[in-house]
Amino acid sequence: MQGDVKEIVSLIKCRDYEYDLVKKGIENSFINLGGIDKFIKKGDKVLLKLNLLMKKKPEDATTTHPIFTKALAEILIDYGAEVIIGDSPGGPFNIASLKSIYRACGIEKIANEVGAKLNYNTNSMDIKNEDGLILKKITAIEVLKEVDKVISVSKLKTHGMMMFTGAVKNMFGIVAGLEKAEYHVRMPEIKDFSNALVDICLTARPILSFMDGIVGMEGDGPSAGIPREIGAIIASTSPYHLDVVATKIIGLIPNKVPTIQRSVERGLCKGNLDDIEIRGNFIEDLIVKDFLVPEIRSLNLLENRVPKFLADILNELLQPKPIFRHDKCVGCTDCAMNCPPKVIEMVNKKPEVDLDDCIRCFCCHELCPVKAIDIHRPILMKLLAKL
pLDDT tens digits, 103-155: 999 999 999 999 999 999 999 999 998 889 999 999 999 999 999 999 999 99
Mean pLDDT of all residues in 178-192: 85
Task: Write out the DSSP string of 144-170.
Answer: GGG-SEEEEEEEEEEETTTEEE-HHHH
pTM of the model: 0.86
Task: Write out the DSSP string of 292-347.
Answer: -------TTTTTTTS-HHHHHHHHHHH--EEEE-TTT-----HHHHT-TT--EEEE
Domain map (residue ranges) of the chain:
7-286, 308-385
Mean pLDDT of all residues in 378-383: 57
- Please, which pLDDT band fits residue 298 given cuts at 50, 70 and 90? very low
pLDDT at position 161 is: 80
- Please, which pLDDT band fits residue 387 given cuts at 50, 70 and 90? very low
Assign domain 7-286 to a CATH class. alpha beta
Q: What are phi and psi of 35, to 5 degrees?
A: 100, 145
Report, in angstroms and rounded to the nearest whole number, the Rg of the chain calculated over CA atoms.
20
Q: Which residues contact 86 (CB under 8 A, 6 or more apart)?
A: 47, 48, 49, 50, 98, 118, 119, 141, 143
CA dist list (Å): 59 to 223, 231, 300: 12, 14, 37
233 and 213 in contact (C-beta within 8 Å)?
yes
For residues 29 and 2, which has the higher predicted lDDT (pLDDT)? Answer: 29
Cα-Cα-Cα-Cα dihedral sign, residues 249, 253, 258, 264: positive
Q: Where are the beta strands (DSSP E) in 51-103?
A: 82-86
pLDDT tens digits, 196-212: 999 999 999 999 999 99
pLDDT above 80: residue 302 = no
pLDDT tens digits, 316-340: 666 778 999 999 999 999 999 989 8
pLDDT tens digits, 54-97: 999 999 999 999 999 999 999 999 999 999 999 999 778 999 99
Q: Is 382 exposed, middle or buried (0-12, 13-18, 19+ CB in 10 A)?
A: middle
For residues 186 and 34, which has the higher predicted lDDT (pLDDT)? Answer: 34
246 and 65 in contact (C-beta within 8 Å)?
no
- Please, which pLDDT band fits residue 380 given cuts at 50, 70 and 90? low
Count the neighbouring beta carbons within 10 Å of the beta carbon of residue 324. Answer: 19
- Dist CA 142 CA 137 (whole Å): 14
Q: 308-385 — its CATH code?
A: 3.30.70.20
